[in-house]
Amino acid sequence: MKKAILILLVNTFFMLGYAQDSISTKQPSIGFKLGMLDFKKTNATDNLTSAAPYFGIQFFKGFGTNIDGMINLDVASLKYPYYVSKRIPEAKSSQYYFAVDANINFKLSTDNKKVVPYLIAGVGVATDHGAYYTAYAPVGAGLQFKAKQGSFFNLASTYRAELSPLTKMHFAHSISYTYPLKLRDKKPVMIPEAPVVADADEDGVSGDADDCPNKAGLAKYHGCPVPDSDEDGVNDENDQCPNVEGTVKYHGCPVPDKDKDGIDDEADKCPDQKGLDRYQGCPIPDSDNDGVNDEEDQCPNLAGIIGNHGCANLQPLIDRFSANLKFASGKTLLSKQLLAGLDSIVLVMNAYPNMSLAIGGHTDNTGTLKINQKLSEQRALTVSAYLIKKGIAIKRVTTEGYADTRPIADNKTIQGRAKNRRTDITVLY
């Protein structure tokens, strides 16, 4: 949690510092918004709040023609639906919920357009009545509608991904109105100059033919200098991108972004791979090369499997502890010595609360299918009952009987039938 808060503060100061040193198109603006927090229900949640209204305050500052910084402060009253596995006591009444996040908005056009779509990415942290803290990463999209004197309406929707164990993924939908802290000056009234017949700027264009009588220009531009349509300091005759603000270094074009990840190549440490701003333009790393990135990997320095969130495959360990779960012919009980072997499985389940077990009971081919089906179910329940008795939650254990339909040895021999009178335990993540 402390790491998430630190990331939020660093991102915020970066945005504010960058805004002071760069040429921006959007003035510092304040906004007010109304919205809805939408917590999707899953099998792992209690019947707590699934959706709740909220209101908030926003601060905008443009970094450039296509990038805005945005800081949100949201307030709501709700019952936060923690995952049941976190064992947070269920709220008896709605509690105050505060959230603050810092974002970068990547606009697909400039602010002079009436409607501008944009993408949102950032990081945030929230508190549930000051008792619990949750970090999240908002990503989404929005539409900006131009109003008067630098004001805008915004419609936005973000998916708030989990960045801390207590965080419950959810969506935030909002509508807001923002206006600049300093309203734009109205266009000054232009007082027409008296007609000049002489060629005051000595550019060879005189009288009414000179549209810029006080600036030396060219005849093909009616006495005006070569225009600079995008006002980037590179005139249109030398500007390879005359309608987009750029730099002299790139002949009037913006700094390129070869991998189209919204981070220009000069700031991108991985210019040929799409990445994220918080990784300087590189993809989310996978330190142990197990196919699960570090933000989702619960064991980032030890190669594991996707099903166990990047941690080791537990099935071989469970197979070893359950190898001796064999039954006498026609019996459903195990000796205390054999059941004691399940204690090791209890220790593994306590260490990995996200895993569950599927227990399958089996018989040899002696007897009828009806008798064997009931016998196999009771054998699976014998193992399940022992685990539950040792403190494993009943919802983490399922049982199934397979009678004699899944033999692992030849039922024609005594030794084979003995191996088939068993229970198998399968790990579910």
State which amino acid sits at residue 400: E
Higher pLDDT, 135 or 305: 135
Domain count, the chain: 2
| Domain finish residue from 161, 180, 199 | 180
Has residue 46 got a pLDDT over 70? Answer: no
pLDDT for position 15: 47
Specify the pLDDT at position 385: 95
Does residue 159 sit in the same domain as residue 11? yes
**Residue-averaged pLDDT of the chain:** 86
Q: Per the domain annotation, does 414 fall within a domain?
A: yes
Q: Are 176 and 321 in a shared domain? A: no
Give me the pLDDT at residue 189, please. Answer: 59
In a domain, 29, yes or no: yes
CATH code (residue 37): 2.40.160.20
**Among 180, 214, 242, residue at a domain's last position:** 180
**Structure confidence at residue 90 (pLDDT):** 84
End of a domain among 163, 180, 197? 180
399, 361 contact by CB (below 8 A): yes
- Confidence at residue 74, expressed as pLDDT on a 0 to 100 scale: 95
Clarify whether residues 26 and 174 are in a common domain. Answer: yes
Rounded Cα distance between 322 and 335, Å, is 14
3-state secondary structure at position 198: coil
pLDDT of residue 305: 82
Identify whether 383 is part of a domain: yes
Of residues 270 and 8, more confidence is placed in 270
Is residue 319 in some structural domain?
yes
The DSSP code for 410 is -
* pLDDT digit string, tens, across residues 363-385: 999 999 999 999 999 999 999 99
pLDDT digits (tens, 9 = 90+) for 409-419: 999 999 999 99
pLDDT in tens, 14-30: 444 444 444 457 889 99
In a domain, 149, yes or no: yes
Cα(56)–Cα(230) distance, rounded to whole angstroms? 35
At residue 206 the predicted structure's pLDDT band, cuts being 50, 70 and 90, is confident
To the nearest 10°, the Cα dihedral for 155, 161, 167, 170?
40
pLDDT in the model for residue 282: 92
What pLDDT sits at residue 336?
A: 84
Task: Decide if 191 is inside a domain.
Answer: no
CA atoms within 13 A on the CB side of 213: 13
Is the residue at 236 inside a domain? no
* Nearest one of 274, 266, 426 to 358, comparing CA atoms: 426
Q: What is the CATH number of the domain that holds 336?
A: 3.30.1330.60
Query: φ, ψ for residue 320 (rounded to 5)?
Result: -65, -40
Put residue 281 in one of left, alpha, beta given phi > 0 → left and psi -120 to 50 → alpha: left
What does pTM read for this prediction? 0.40
* pLDDT recorded at residue 119: 95
d(CA 299, CA 384): 29
**Residue range of the domain that includes 327:** 315-428
What is the C-alpha separation between 161 and 139, in angstroms, rounded? Answer: 8
> Is residue 58 one of the residues assigned to a domain?
yes
